[in-house]
Amino acid sequence: MNASPEHQRILLDVADLDRRLQQAEKQRTTPVQGPRINELAKERQEQLRDLTVLTGARDDVRTELTRLESDVKVTEQRRTRDAERLAASTNPKDAQALEHELASLGRRISDLEDQQLDVMGRLEEAESAVATQQALIDTTTAEGTELTAQAKAQVAAATNEIAQLSRDRDAVTADIPADLLAEYTRRASRGIGVGLLRRGTCEGCRMMLSGTHLNEVRQAAADAVISCPECGAILVRTDESGL
C-alpha cells in the first residue's frame, strides 16, 4: 500500500486522539468513584440492619419503663385509697390490716422506683447507641452522596470530552485516504495501529529496529506504507527517524 508521508504522519494524530478517546470512554463508563460508592452502599445496608436492632432494643426498654410508670401509678392510687380508708376506719382490726398493707405498698413503690431508675439509665444508653448509629449512617450517606455527585460530574465531563474528541477526529481524518485509515483501524483493533520511528526505535512498541530492518526502511519508497517488524504498526518516518 502507498500513501503520502503527510497522510501517514496524520495517523499519529489520529492515534493520539484515539488514545484520549479510550481514556475518556473509560472515565465515562467506569468512574473511579464507582468501587467506593458500591462499598458505601453495602456498609450502609449493614449499618441500617444494626440500627434496626438497636432501635428495637431501645423500644423494649421504653416499653419496660412505661410499664413500671403504670405500676407505680396504680400502686400509688391504691396507697392513697387505703390511707383514706384508714383515716375513716373505726374498726381496729381493719385499721391494722390497712396499716400492714400500706407498709407493704410503700415498699413496693420504693422497689418500683429503684427499678425505674435502673431502666431510665438503660434507656439513656440505648438512646445514645441509636443516636451514634444514626450519626454513622449519616456520615456514610453523606460520603456516598458526595462521591455520586463527583462521579456524575466526571461522567458528564467525559461525555463532553468524547464529543469534542470525536469532532476533532472527524476533522483530522477527513483528509486521509479511506484505505489508509482502514489499514490503520485494522491494525489498531489488533494492537498498535501506528508508531513513529524515532532514532531507529518504533514508538508504538518501544523496540529498536535491527540494522537489517533499518536498511529495509531506508530502501523503502517515501510513500510506501511500511510496518514495524515487532508490533505490526504502520511505521511513520520523519526527519527524526535516524535513517
Residues that bind Zn ion (CB under 5 A): 195, 202, 204-205, 228, 230-231, 233
Helix (H) or strand (E) holding 142: helix 92-173
Q: Are 18 and 184 in contact (CB under 8 A)?
A: no
Residue 3 or 236 with smaller CB distance to Zn ion: 236
Strand pairing class (226-227; 207-208): unpaired
How many other C-beta atoms are found inside a 10 Å radius of the C-beta of residue 200? 16
By beta-carbon proximity to Zn ion, the closer residue of 144 and 204 is 204
Q: Shortest Cβ distance from residue 231 to Zn ion (Å)?
A: 3
- The CB-of-201 to Zn ion minimum distance in angstroms stands at 9
Q: How far is the CB of 192 from Zn ion (least distance, A)?
A: 6
Specify the residue, 54 or 209, whose C-beta has the smaller distance to Zn ion.
Answer: 209
> Minimum CB separation from Zn ion for residue 45, in Å?
50
- Position of cell 381493719? 94
CB of 119 or CB of 231, closer to Zn ion: 231
Nearer to Zn ion, 144 or 195 (CB): 195
Q: Is the dihedral of CA 93, 99, 102, 104 positive or negative?
A: negative
Tell me phi and psi for residue 236, to 5 degrees.
Answer: -100, 130
User: Residues 6 or more apart from 1 whose CB is under 8 A from it?
Assistant: 179, 180, 183, 224, 225
What minimum distance in Å lies between the beta carbon of 197 and Zn ion?
A: 9
